[in-house]
Amino acid sequence: MLTELFDFALPDSRIALRPAEPRDSARLLVVHENGEITHSHFRDLPDLLKNNDILSFNDTKVIAARLNARRPPRVAGSPDVSVELTLHKRMGGAEFQAFAQPARRLRSGDVLLLGQRLEAQVRDRQGGDVLLTFNRSGAALDQAIAEVGLMPLPPYIAKLRPPDGRDFADFQTVYAREAGSVAAPTAG
């Protein structure tokens, strides 16, 4: 299947930049067993469920997985390079895989500075994906990421507005419990 088959025009004016308030007033598209489509609201979900229906919940909390870093110059007199990282997979206590932009400006061994106390070393780069080893580990790394990171808003929202403090509440599901997600849910 080609991903282009999923492309469609969506005017910026139709993109919700904040969740519905109250949350259960969010719209819900219902596809019935016979193929009929109706429009409802999330608050109506209990009335739509049948005895043997199964609900699956992703109860992970979104972490501040979007990080702004700078790579000091390799040659004296050259400027720093700004790099945006989006953490996407924890590999160990101090290691993460991350998408980097612009990744082409990074090499194995480069040190990235993230705020005052957090650093990461590029261990490997494959295209736009980098393996990072941080100078902190475990809970200390989690705390440092929370302090310097931003909510990883979906690109279609991030292009319309910068992340802000409300996003950490707005883009968590109401049943989020354990930290670990690296993508903000836009439905839940």
123-136 confidence digits (pLDDT tens)? 999 999 999 999 99
**pLDDT beyond 90 at 187:** no
Residue 188, pLDDT above cutoff 90: no
DSSP label of 35: S
- Torsion sign across C-alpha atoms 66, 79, 137, 125: positive
pLDDT of 81 strictly over 90: yes
Helix (H, G, I), strand (E, B) or coil at 16: coil
- Beta-carbon neighbour count of residue 97 at 10 Å? 17
SS3 7: coil
Q: Is the pLDDT of residue 171 over 90?
A: no
- Fold topology of 58-188: Thrombin, subunit H (2.40.10)
CATH 2.40.10.240 residue ranges of the chain are 58-188
Mean pLDDT of the chain: 92
Q: Is 131 helix (H, G, I), strand (E, B) or coil?
A: strand
Please name every residue paired with 133 in a beta bridge, in sequence order, or none if there are none: 95, 121
Q: Where are the alpha helices (DSSP H) in 28-122?
A: 45-48
